[in-house]
Amino acid sequence: MTTRARGSGARVVVVGVASLSWLWIGAGCAAGNLSMEARLARLDDRLDASIPEMTDCFRRELGAEANRLDGRVVVRFEVAGDGLVSGLEVVESELGSAEAELCVSDTIRRIYFLEWVGRQPVRLTKPLQFVAGR
């Protein structure tokens, strides 16, 4: 996995991998010692850990075309009080590849967000920026 910095300080991972920034749109700020920002940072860590799985899926489904994936995908989903993802939908995509979108969706659906167990469900919108491999 290759990374490079952007001017804003955001991290972009090259070859079909997403930058990890959140837009929280949901209800239910959970009780506890962690701020919402800290909880979202932990969700980012879980997503970051799933990036190799997304990349493997791109390569398996798209072969050499995986290196040409470039553009933004926005997903919306809920993390329930049991830590499981539900209601995931791709709300915007510039990839032009249903297979790549399915890789993103399937990978996120399988993530278990342990840090959300016992908390109020939260609905999130997640923009993912894919950068073609060089």
Q: What is the DSSP letter of 83?
A: S
Residue 7's pLDDT band (cuts 50, 70, 90)? very low
Query: pLDDT digit string (tens) for 20-43?
Result: 444 444 444 444 567 778 877 888
44: exposed, middle or buried (C-beta count within 10 Å: 0-12, 13-18, 19+)? middle
According to CATH, what is the number of the domain 23-66+73-127? 3.30.2420
- Domain borders along the chain are 23-66+73-127
Average pLDDT of every residue of the chain: 75
Asked whether 75 and 126 are in contact (CB, 8 A), the reply is yes
pLDDT of res. 69: 84
Q: Can you give the pLDDT at residue 117?
A: 82
Stated pTM of the model: 0.71
